[in-house]
A and B are shown apart, each in its own frame.
Chain A
């Protein structure tokens, strides 16, 4: 099972919005509404940000949002803050009893 495709890097200035894409196939992202997004700071464990494409767990600010169109899911971080600088990973249920992650995107706050 191939990994989902994410851009290796993204950047934005404080206060701006940044969107990170996650491209899969009709067998994973496009076939199911079970896409999740995780944030990982260096040396730390991942943290769940978004589940089932666009749902936010309690405690995650509403300036983070998720969406999906066809085989591509997206995470938008609005009102960028310094603490948003981290690695971001998408994942999707891929049928056939598999889960697949994206390669990760390093977000830099300029």
Chain B
């Protein structure tokens, strides 16, 4: 089954304790991206990756890092989490080139993070 898998789905942590939210897709997609969703602010893009070893900032990259060492994985790293990073996070993937697909995004089920 084609899917985007995020882990953990729920996490409560404390300020300053480094954490990683993993994202894995099994569709051989080149493009992957991370979003955060907060009440009243909709979905905001954090980082995206057009292919392995290629990453770029979205609209709200501050406080986050990403890496793309393998095609299927795109982890989101919070080096020193703060309470304002409490949010619902979504990972998404798609084919990069339109001639290989419609460019539609496939989303994971979300990871709810609370930073105390």
Q: Do A and B bind each other?
A: no
